[in-house]
Amino acid sequence: MAVTGAQGVSRRRGTRAAETEARKRRLLDAATALAADGGYDAVQMRDVAARAEVALGTLYRHYSSKDQLLLAALAHQAATLRERLDQRPARGETPAERVADVLRRASRALERQPRVMRAMLTAMSAGDDTTASAKLDINTTLRSIISDAVDGERVDNLDDVVKVLGAVWFAELTFWSGGFSDATSMSDSLARAARLLLP
Amino acid sequence: MAVTGAQGVSRRRGTRAAETEARKRRLLDAATALAADGGYDAVQMRDVAARAEVALGTLYRHYSSKDQLLLAALAHQAATLRERLDQRPARGETPAERVADVLRRASRALERQPRVMRAMLTAMSAGDDTTASAKLDINTTLRSIISDAVDGERVDNLDDVVKVLGAVWFAELTFWSGGFSDATSMSDSLARAARLLLP
DNA sequence: GGCAAACCTGCAACGCGTTCTAGCGCTGGA
DNA sequence: TCCAGCGCTAGAACGCGTTGCAGGTTTGCC
- Measured CA to CA in angstroms, residue A22 lies from A25, A47, A64, A137, A158 at distances of 5, 18, 18, 23, 40
Asked if A56 and A44 touch (Cβ cutoff 8 Å), the reply is: no
Which pLDDT belongs to residue A152? 67
Contact A172 B168 (CB under 8 A): no
CB-to-strand D under 7 Å, chain A 11-30: 11, 15-16
Give, as ranges, the nucleotides of chain D with any atom within 7 Å of a protein CB.
7-12, 16-28
Record: contact B167-A172, CB cut-off 8 A: yes
Q: How confident is the model over B57-67, as pLDDT tens digits?
A: 999 999 999 99
| Model pLDDT, residue A151 | 78
CB atoms within 10 A of CB B108: 11
User: At residue B198, what are phi and psi to the nearest 5 degrees?
Assistant: -125, 155
Characterize B27-52 residue by residue with b for buried, 16 or more Cβ atoms within 10 angstroms of its Cβ, and e for exposed.
bbebbbbbbbeebbebbeeeebbebb
| Nearest alpha carbon to residue B167 among A107, A172, A122 | A172
The rounded mean pLDDT for chain A is 87
CB atoms within 10 A of CB A187: 22
Any idea which nucleotide's C1' is nearest the CA of B58? Answer: D8
Separation between Cα atoms, residue B85 and residue B77, nearest integer Å = 12
Beta strands in chain A, from DSSP E residues, in sequence order: none
Query: What is the DSSP code (8-state) at residue A127?
Result: -
**pTM for the predicted model, two decimal places:** 0.86
Q: Mean pLDDT, chain B, as a whole number? A: 87
Q: Each residue of A91-138: pLDDT tens digit? A: 999 999 999 999 999 888 888 889 999 999 989 888 788 898 888 889
- Is A167 within 8 Å of B172 (Cβ atoms)? yes
- In this structure, what are the phi and psi dihedrals at residue A139, rounded to the nearest 5 degrees? -60, -40
Is residue B157 very low, low, confident or very high in pLDDT (cuts 50, 70, 90)? confident
Is the pLDDT assigned to residue B6 strictly greater than 90? no
Q: Which has more pLDDT, B8 or A185?
A: A185
* Interchain contact, A127 vs B40, CB within 8 Å: yes
* Model confidence band, residue A13 (pLDDT cutoffs 50, 70, 90): low
CA A51-A54-A56 angle, 5° bins? 100
What's CA A124's distance to the chain center, in Å?
9
Query: Sorting pLDDT into bands at 50, 70 and 90, what band is B174?
Result: confident
Burial class from Cβ neighbours inside 10 Å (0-12, 13-18, 19+) for residue B73 reads: buried
Q: Do A132 and B180 lie within an 8 Å CB cutoff?
A: yes
What pLDDT is stored for residue A14 in this prediction? Answer: 67
Do A182 and A99 contact (CB within 8 A), yes or no?
no
Q: Nearest to residue A31, comparing CAs of A69, A63, A79, A78? A: A69
- The answer to whether B35 contacts chain A (CB < 8 Å) is no
- Percentage of chain B lying above the pLDDT 90 cut: 56
Distance from CA of B26 to the nearest CA of A (A): 25
Asked if strand C contacts B127 at the CB level, meaning under 7 A, the answer is no
